[in-house]
């Protein structure tokens, strides 16, 4: 199936590993020029070198997306380097270790505000594309009332992100910009959160596996495949959708 992405330009946040890395690899394989950011410079540079070796334009910088000024500057520089932007995948997140009200504040900045800041910065450029597309990476934690204690704030912010994205989809249709959401369930990858759980709390890991009807955790590639389709012109009449990639961990009718 031709996704119609060849020659397009994409910005994906958090691309050095995990879901973000898999999304970018899919886009690069489709012939998309890409820009990404991450906190870890070494892993980011290794990824960029790999994609550049595939013959596509690939740009990136190490930065903290909660540094509003630095993040906005990077987004503008990325648009300039790419010569525009057609696709924006807002993916990046991080684990917050503070407690109490400070934990709520930091989670707000990481899992909601930076998505809004990036969107506002890129919207003028996306409006210049005839195939503008935004995909936000949310989580099934957004609708769960029995999250792990470490995901209380995270789930609330992801719920807010889905509401924001849904309103944007309605607002931006007149500009021919589509907005969609992908909500993964637990995703396992090397060096990720669930690898740590598997090593330190094997019983919890087994319970997480059992939630899926496939009795396993998902993979970054499975999320990336959904993102590539929704971001592409092949999904030209899909907007405002929230696609769960969770192995039916959430057992409700999804209207």
- Asked if residues 117 and 130 have their Cβ atoms less than 8 Å apart, the reply is no
Cβ-Cβ contacts under 8 Å for 154 (sequence gap 6 or more): 93, 96, 107, 111, 139, 141, 147
Alpha carbon distance 211, 7 (integer Å): 40
| CA 167/CA 228 separation, integer angstroms | 22
Q: Which of 109, 101, 187 is nearest to 141 (CA)?
A: 187
Rounded Cα–Cα distance for residues 237 and 47 (Å): 32
Three-state secondary-structure class, residue 76: helix
Per the residue annotation, which of 59, 154, 164, 188 is the catalytic one?
154
- Burial tier of 174 (Cβ tally within 10 Å: 0-12, 13-18, 19+): exposed
Encoded tokens for 137? 């990476």
Among this protein's residues, is 154 annotated catalytic?
Answer: yes
Catalytic site residues?
A: 154
């Amino acid at each position: 199936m031709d996704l119609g992405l060849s020659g397009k330009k994409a910005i994906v946040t958090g691309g050095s590993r995990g879901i973000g890395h898999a999304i970018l690899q899919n886009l690069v394989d489709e012939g998309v020029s890409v820009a990404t950011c991450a906190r870890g410079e070494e892993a980011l540079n290794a990824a960029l070198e790999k994609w550049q070796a595939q013959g596509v334009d690939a740009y990136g910088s190490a930065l903290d997306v909660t540094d509003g000024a630095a993040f906005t500057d990077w987004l503008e520089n990325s648009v300039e380097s790419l010569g525009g932007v057609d696709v924006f995948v807002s993916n990046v997140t991080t684990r917050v270790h503070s407690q109490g009200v400070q934990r709520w504040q930091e989670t707000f900045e990481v899992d909601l505000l930076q998505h809004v800041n990036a969107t506002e910065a890129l919207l003028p450029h996306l409006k210049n594309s005839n195939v503008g597309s935004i995909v936000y990476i949310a989580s099934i934690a957004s609708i769960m009332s029995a999250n792990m204690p470490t995901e209380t704030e995270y789930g609330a912010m992801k719920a807010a992100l889905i509401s924001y994205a849904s309103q944007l989809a309605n607002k931006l249709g007149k500009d021919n910009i589509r907005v969609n959401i992908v909500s993964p369930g637990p995703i396992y990858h090397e060096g990720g959160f669930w690898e740590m759980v598997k090593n330190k709390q094997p019983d919890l890991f087994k319970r997480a596996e059992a939630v899926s009807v496939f009795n396993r955790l998902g993979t970054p590639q499975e999320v990336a495949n959904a993102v590539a389709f929704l971001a592409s012109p092949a999904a030209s009449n899909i907007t405002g959708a929230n696609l769960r990639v969770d192995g039916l961990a959430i057992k409700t009718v999804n209207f």
